[in-house]
Amino acid sequence: MLYGAQVSTEPALLRLDQPAGRRLLAAAVLGSGIAFLDGTVVNVALPRIGGELDAELAGLQWVINGYTLTLASLILVGGSLGDRFGRKRVFAWGIAGFAITSLLCAIAPTIHTLVGARLLQGVAAALLTPGSLAMLQASFARADRMRAIGAWTGMLGIATAGGPVLGGWLVGISWRWAFAINLPLAAITLWLLRTAPESRDEEASGELDVPGILLAPLALAGLTWALTAWPDTGASATTVGAAVLGVAAAVGFVVAERRSRHPMVLPSLFTNKVFTSINLVTLAIYAALSGSMVFVALFLQVTAGWTPLAAGAATVPISAVMLVLASRFGGVATRHGPRLPMVAGALLLALGLALLARSPDQPSYVLDVLPGMLAQGLGLSMLVAPLTGTVLAAAPDSHAGVASGINNAVSRTAGLLAVAGLPLLVGLSGRAYADPAAVADAYRAAMWWCVGLVLLGALLTAVTLTGPAAEPAAQPADADGVTNP
């Protein structure tokens, strides 16, 4: 060896047909699945939590939104920390923290302590969530990235939509088990992660964007508080003050990011039309998904009188369809471009929500619920993998963690605002969540609002995803230079 010659210390890129690649994919899926599972399980558990802890609707909204608030606010920090200090390392920190805070949720004696534990749980989720996709983007060979993201999406369908089945069964025993189940899942994830390669952005600075870290949660907390409190308090000084504070902090956040030397949100990413437009599509789609899931769980249990297990099982077709088809549509987007599957998927998703909106107070599962669930599953299978892959491909690989963090923050913020704002839009407040007639009326109105949001996402995709971004991805070459078919 010649003196001064440099030896590369970069790990070889993984392939999906390798054991190491499959272990990394499994760790990413299971780790992200814990966070997704927790969100869907809590939706099913809300009526039982409200009854046992004597909580009003605002308290139950904060059981969801306390978690989403810190997750959405800090997920950008999580992505940035992963880029700087190692995505595998920060992902593992998040998994361990999620296990500890899940235990705190499981033993919470009051609604206030449960909300506090959920706030902490969101901090842990903010560390692990962006790392899963960033590890896939940085660790897999380019030819396998879209397939890996598609497989990640499909298998996460089990946690996202199938989670309520497990949750419904656990809630039938005690809602506390819905949180305790995270402990063994976290242990398995850490075991799978032990041999995964590390990746980071070697050019990233070690400095943190302190103004951004402070202003982001302040903006979201102010807006969420105002939307949640408005149905009960109206335009009180506290509610209006919270709204003004939230808007001012949001403006301050944008200004701070533009002036910061090391911003959490790189302004340069938003000069890419595709990155900006697909994040707007994400905002519309995930607001509809989060809001509709909460109202479906309430409607089936409170109005229709279904058990938590039956209400959770109603969503199984979504996960089954996504498990089979999501990875395939990731390949379709790679070969033919993302625009067509994304638009078609959004339209099918809107159709599924519209079918559910027409359900009678005592619905037949086969006639009134199943068709809407199947349409949603097919629509999401066509939509989610191309959406995720497109927004990541629009950013440089060195900023994969930040790009993933931004897109995740947008999706979580969408859910946060939907859960806080939809009850206000449809007139549900106080203890009305226990009134079958009130829930039925609110459910139908909320579902039509969600249909409108999805159609907006379809329109944005059709109008903005044009030109090279809508074309098939270039076929990457293997290490030996041979182009993959």
Q: Tell me the β-bridge partners of 14.
A: 140
Residue 478 pLDDT level (bands cut at 50, 70, 90)? very low
Cα distances (Å, whole numbers) of residue 369 to 94, 174, 296, 323, 366: 36, 26, 10, 20, 6
The pLDDT score that the predictor gives to residue 481 is: 30
- Residue 46, token pair as written in the block: 């809300």
Residue 474 pLDDT level (bands cut at 50, 70, 90)? very low
Q: For the residues of 408-446, what is the DSSP string, one character each?
A: HHHHHHHHHHHHHHHHHHHT--TTGGG-HHHHHHHHHHH
Phi and psi for 87 in degrees, rounded to 5? Answer: -70, -40
Q: Is the pLDDT of residue 210 over 70?
A: yes
- Burial track 407-424 (b if 16+ CB lie within 10 A, e otherwise): bbbbbbbbbbbbbbbbbb
Q: Is the pLDDT of residue 9 over 70?
A: no
* Model confidence pLDDT, tens digit, residues 396-418: 766 766 777 688 778 888 988 89
Beta strands in 249-335 (DSSP E): none
Distance (Å, whole) CA 444 – CA 358: 7
233 CB-contact burial (10 Å; exposed 0-12 / middle 13-18 / buried 19+): middle
Question: What one-letter code names the amino acid at 408?
Answer: N
Distance (Å, whole) CA 289 – CA 450: 7
Q: Is the pLDDT of residue 70 over 80?
A: yes
Listed residue (444, 309, 320, 300) closest to 365, CA to CA: 300
- Residue 257, token pair as written in the block: 């990011």
The pLDDT score that the predictor gives to residue 202 is: 65
What CATH number does domain 19-200+210-470 carry, 3.40.50.300, 3.40.50.150, 1.20.1250.20, 1.10.1060.10?
A: 1.20.1250.20
DSSP 54: T
The pLDDT score that the predictor gives to residue 110 is: 94
Residue 471 pLDDT level (bands cut at 50, 70, 90)? low
291 or 40, higher pLDDT: 291
Residue 102 pLDDT level (bands cut at 50, 70, 90)? very high
Q: Tell me the β-bridge partners of 140.
A: 14
> How many of the other CB atoms lie within 10 Å of CB of 329?
27
**Which segment of 55-69, 154-168, 186-200, 310-324 scores lowest on mean pLDDT?**
154-168
Q: Is the pLDDT of residue 120 over 90?
A: yes
- Residue 443, token pair as written in the block: 């459910």
| Whether 368 contacts 360, CB under 8 Å | yes
Q: Which contiguous run of DSSP H or E holds residue 483? A: none
- Residue 301, token pair as written in the block: 């249990």
Q: Is the pLDDT of residue 467 over 70?
A: no
Q: Is the pLDDT of residue 108 over 90?
A: yes
485 or 56, higher pLDDT: 56
Q: State which of 86-100, 124-138, 146-160, 229-243 shows the largest mean pLDDT.
A: 86-100
| Whether 168 contacts 44, CB under 8 Å | yes
* Model confidence pLDDT, tens digit, residues 278-337: 899 999 999 999 899 889 989 999 999 999 889 888 888 887 888 788 777 777 766 777
Its pTM stands at 0.76
The pLDDT score that the predictor gives to residue 3 is: 35
**Which segment of 6-10, 244-248, 325-329 scores lowest on mean pLDDT?**
6-10
429 or 183, higher pLDDT: 183
The pLDDT score that the predictor gives to residue 161 is: 59
The count of residues in the chain is 485
Q: Is the pLDDT of residue 214 over 90?
A: no
The pLDDT score that the predictor gives to residue 204 is: 60
Sign of the Cα torsion 451, 339, 382, 367 reads positive
Residue 157 pLDDT level (bands cut at 50, 70, 90)? low
What is the pLDDT averaged over residues 78-84?
Answer: 78
The pLDDT score that the predictor gives to residue 450 is: 96
Phi and psi for 78 in degrees, rounded to 5? Answer: -60, -45
The pLDDT score that the predictor gives to residue 479 is: 30
SS3 state at 451: helix
| Whether 164 contacts 311, CB under 8 Å | yes
Q: Is the pLDDT of residue 36 over 80?
A: no
